[in-house]
Amino acid sequence: MLGRLVPVTVAWAETREDRPDTELFPIERVALGRAVPKRRREFTAGRACARRALERLGAPVVAIPSGERGEPRWPDGVVGSITHCEGYRAGAVAWSTALASLGIDAEPDAPLPEGVLEVVAHGRELDLVAGGDGRVDVGRLLFSAKEAIYKAWSPLATGRLSFEDAEVALDLADGTFRARLLVPGPVVGGVRLDELHGRWAVEDGVIGTAVTIHAHGRAGGSGIT
Residue 132 belongs to some domain of the structure: yes
In a domain, 22, yes or no: yes
> DSSP string spanning 98-126?
TEEEEEEEEEESSPPPTTTHHHH--THHH
Q: Is residue 225 part of a domain?
A: no
Whole-number pLDDT of residue 33: 83
pLDDT of residue 27: 92
Q: What is the mean pLDDT of each run of 10 residues along the chain (225 residues)?
A: 96 89 88 87 94 96 90 96 95 97 97 95 90 89 97 89 94 94 91 94 97 77 40
Q: Enter the pTM of the model.
A: 0.92
H or E element in which residue 95 lies: strand 88-95
Domains: count for the chain = 1
pLDDT at residue number 157: 87
Instruction: Indicate whether 221 belongs to any domain.
Output: no
Q: Is 223 within a domain?
A: no
What is the domain extent for residue 122? 2-214
- Residue 211's contacts (CB-CB under 8 Å, 6 or more residues apart) are 102, 103, 104, 145, 148, 149, 151, 152, 179, 196, 197, 198, 219, 220, 221
What per-residue confidence (pLDDT) applies to 224?
39
Task: Give pLDDT, residue 219.
Answer: 56
CB atoms near residue 161 (< 10 Å): 21
Residue 222 falls inside a structural domain:
no
Question: 83 - beta bridge partners?
Answer: 90
CATH of the domain at 66: 3.90.470.20
